Amino acid sequence: MNRKWNRSARTAVAAAVLTAAAMLAGCPPESGDPPETPGTPETPETPKWDQTAYDAGFDEGFLVDEEYWLGFDDGYYTRDAGPIYYSGSEIPVVEAPEFDAGYWDGVWYAYNDGYFVEYDYAFTVGFSEGYDIGFTNAWPDILAADEHPEYVDGGWSDGYNDGFSEGLVMGAVDYAEGLPFDWLDAMMYYREGYDVYLEEVDRGTGAYGPVYLYEYGTDPNTLVAKTAAGRRAEARGAVRRTPGAKTAADAGVSYRAMPEETSARYDTAPASTARAPETALRVADTTWNQRIAAYRGAVAAKAAPPAASRAARAVPVN
């Protein structure tokens, strides 16, 4: 498939597959006709499910890079309170034959991986800059005046602001505790599921703050997760560890190498942030790409356990 893959291309392919599937399935009984008994000469027993064919189709669909980057771009261009471009719910659910069922399930996961990874990268950038702003002796005033914009849609603005708000609190806590400036260490600690709370401003991270993290595979147009029958019941990623869930580091979310034109968007290092436009960012000495690479490197290296001083002040996740 070529690099100009888009919703129209997906729709055309899906229509052909669904037409073929309908032909294989035959026509439904006319209204009012009683259902035929399975196993009779008129209706042979349903053949056994071919898991091997399904898995082969899934693997092929999951490797459709065009769907992955369509999901990534849909997230990237979903900004502020503007249009939501998520289109994962338009991907067809095919029940037979097994290869086609697996193929479209694989496409669904490829698309949603891309959409989620864009949110994860935006969260990382936002966390680094929020931490920077919070790491100061003026943190009580900054946190008291800050307002968290919540979009819930998993797009760029949603990820950036979710990360910024959690990073803001973590930066303030690190400064108050006398810890060195280290946004990456703080973020990896946060991603393990540890929460912190500042009584002075009655604000914290996780359940103690205003942030709602985007959940993998959720259609932001309806805020209902895709649970159609036939989807693989796999645990997928989250930006942090929560009870009963895996993190993106170990749940099978694919972090694919960015195409050159996509990577170029992150080859930037703004001197300030819209959440605190008058404050110069210390992290501006690294580009967004470099911060993302540092995050992925920390995941790959399975970053060391949190230091005792950090763990001692943790608020356990319920």
pLDDT digits (tens, 9 = 90+) for 162-196: 999 999 999 999 999 999 999 999 999 999 999 99
By three-state DSSP, how is residue 124 classified? helix
Q: Measured between alpha carbons, how far is 75 from 63 in angstroms, rounded to an integer?
A: 19
Predicted pLDDT at 135? 98
Predicted local confidence at residue 41, as pLDDT: 54
- Specify the DSSP element, H or E, that contains 219: strand 218-219
Q: What are the domain boundaries of the chain?
A: 117-311
- What are 193's two structure tokens? 């599921």
Angstrom distance (rounded) from CA 10 to CA 225:
21
List the pLDDT tens digit at each of the 318 positions of the chain: 333 455 555 655 665 555 555 444 433 333 344 444 455 555 566 678 899 999 999 999 999 999 999 999 999 999 998 999 999 999 999 988 999 999 999 999 999 999 999 999 999 999 999 999 999 999 999 999 999 999 999 999 999 999 999 999 999 999 999 999 999 999 999 999 999 999 999 999 999 999 999 999 999 988 644 444 344 445 566 788 644 444 444 447 899 999 999 999 999 999 999 999 999 999 999 999 999 999 999 998 864 455 544 444 444 444
How does 40-63 read in b/e, with b if 16+ C-beta sit within 10 Å? eeeeeeeeeebeebbebbbeebbe
Per-residue pLDDT, 32: 42
Tokens representing 45 are 């027993």
CB contact set of 210 (below 8 Å; sequence gap of 6+): 148, 150, 165, 203
- To which residue do tokens 């943190």 refer? 139
The DSSP annotation for 223-260 comes to: TEE---TTS-------SS--TT---TTTS----PPPPH
**How far is CA 104 from each of CA 4, 54, 60, 65, rounded to the nearest angstrom?**
19, 10, 9, 13
Q: What is the structure's pLDDT at 117?
A: 97
d(CA 123, CA 145): 21
Res 222: pLDDT: 84
What's the Cα-to-Cα distance from 275 to each of 90, 94, 144, 165, 168, rounded to whole Å? 34, 44, 13, 10, 10
pLDDT of residue 301: 86
